[in-house]
Amino acid sequence: MAKDEYSWGKILQRRVMFKVGDLVRITKENVKFTKGYKQNFSTEIFQVVKAMQCMPQPVYELSDLQARPIEEKFYNYELVKVTISTN
């Protein structure tokens, strides 16, 4: 019976996009389809501490650059990878 309940479609499992140690920024708001010139991501940079493959999307634990943990957990679409140049 459980198989029949879910026969309408397959749950898509998303892959982990960020590795432990990657530097990321966090979205400021979850507002969709807005126009504007304001920045949508935080100015502060965070580091991925743990990447957990949960269903249906992976979840990430972050810390700031001083190794203080962030209480929230974040999804792929809430993060953007940052590269810091040494120049």
Each residue's pLDDT tens digit, 3-48: 545 544 455 557 888 999 999 999 876 556 666 666 778 889 999 9
Q: Where are the domains of the chain?
A: 12-29+38-81
Structure-token pair, residue 61 = 């634990």
Which pLDDT score is estimated for 1? 46
Which pLDDT score is estimated for 36? 67
Cα–Cα distance between 65 and 69 in angstroms, integer? 9
What are the C-alpha distances in Å from 31 to residues 21, 36, 40, 60?
28, 12, 9, 21
Cα–Cα distance between 21 and 27 in angstroms, integer? 19
Which pLDDT score is estimated for 11? 52
Which pLDDT score is estimated for 56? 78
Provide the 3-class DSSP secondary structure of residue 59. Answer: strand
For residues 17 and 76, the answer to whether their CB atoms sit within 8 Å is: yes
Cα–Cα distance between 82 and 77 in angstroms, integer? 14
Which pLDDT score is estimated for 33? 64
Which pLDDT score is estimated for 29? 67
pLDDT exceeds cutoff 50 at 74: yes
Domain 12-29+38-81 falls under CATH 3.10.129: no
Record the pTM. Answer: 0.71
Within 8 A by CB and 6+ apart from 77, the residues are 27
